[in-house]
Amino acid sequence: MKYRKLGNSGVLVSELCLGTMLFGSSTDAEESARMVHRFLDAGGNFIDTADIYTEGVSEEIVGKAIGERRSEVILATKAGISVGPHPNDRGNSRKHIMDGVDASLRRLNTDYIDLFYLHVWDDLTPIEETLRALDDLVSSGKVRYIGCCNFLAWQLMKSLAYSDAKDYARFVAIQQQYSLVSRDADREHMSLCLEENVGIIPWGPLGGGLLTGKYNNMEKPDFGRFSLGLKGEFDYNNKFTPKNFEIVNAVKEMVQQTEKTSSQVALNWLLGKKGITSPIIGASSIAQFEDNMGAVGWSLTTEQWEQLDSVSSLPSEYPARMQERFRRTL
């Protein structure tokens, strides 16, 4: 396992991050703990959870699993999405953030969180209030670094600019959906994060399972999450497109060339992408976990990587197209 800097910080995180959204649901506590231990034994040190994952059970399982190995782990969690029926049980207000951090600390059985994310942007709370609260948490030692998830590019830049103006703690990472079949972040987030030295932590790096090799055509499957009628990012109509199956077929071609699995090829492409820090791997079983871990320790050839990059790239768009045409370089 290799390690990478977490944005504009001095902390090093493993090139894969262990996601724990399924801990306490499709992955029981015992298997979850085995997964955590295998990840740490393999050199992984970056673990991601959230207060809403299995209603807090995920945090409890993670806290118990890392136990005496706490100092080895860069532990990330989040708050912002609703965790209860009351009006202040959600959002990025000072009250909810402070309450959320204290609740997460209890569940994780630790006295500090390495990386605390805002789970979503909050239109009701001024970002000034949110950033002051986060800076206070860093000053108190309860939180060491801060990040955000699912922000628009202007929301991220506004936050960074305000932190700089007030000398507050600055976001070191953003967690965004990013994969071969979801490269929307290339429009603005990627260049912004490279410019501002913010690490990109991709969630959904296998496209919700689309890049695992188990789907062969665009017919609606009768298994997996795409059969459930989910809305949003894992809506069947959102992911099962001709463009995405062109990408799926390109990945399968690389499987034949590399003798790796589809998941390993898709993750390895991500590891070679400039600006990407640590893709989040989530698994419902040890077998899936081991498959994902096989994405490290080797590399696609330059030609193979560029072929996948080309087939999955976004169409040329204005104003990026015009800027590229007139770009000045030395």
Maximum Cα–Cα distance across the chain: 57
> Which of 289, 267, 228 lies closest to 23, judged by CA?
289
> Which of 20, 205, 150, 215 lies closest to 226, judged by CA?
215
Instruction: Determine contact, residues 50/119, Cβ cutoff 8 Å.
Output: yes
> Which of 233, 241, 254, 253 lies closest to 300, judged by CA?
254
> Which of 124, 76, 74 lies closest to 96, judged by CA?
124
Contacts of 329 (CB under 8 A, 6+ apart): none
Q: In what order do the strands lie in the sheet with 199-203?
A: 199-203, 171-177, 143-149, 113-118, 74-79, 46-48, 17-19, 280-281
| Tokens at 134, concatenated | 């986060």
Distances, alpha carbon 276 to alpha carbons 58, 187, 267, in Å: 25, 15, 11
> Which of 57, 83, 63 lies closest to 75, judged by CA?
63
114 three-state secondary structure: strand
**Catalytic residue ranges:** 53
Instruction: Determine contact, residues 23/47, Cβ cutoff 8 Å.
Output: no
- Residue count of the chain, please give it: 330
**Radius of gyration of the chain measured on its C-alpha atoms:** 20
DSSP letter (8 states) at residue 315 = P
- Burial of 7 from C-beta contacts in 10 A (0-12 / 13-18 / 19+): buried
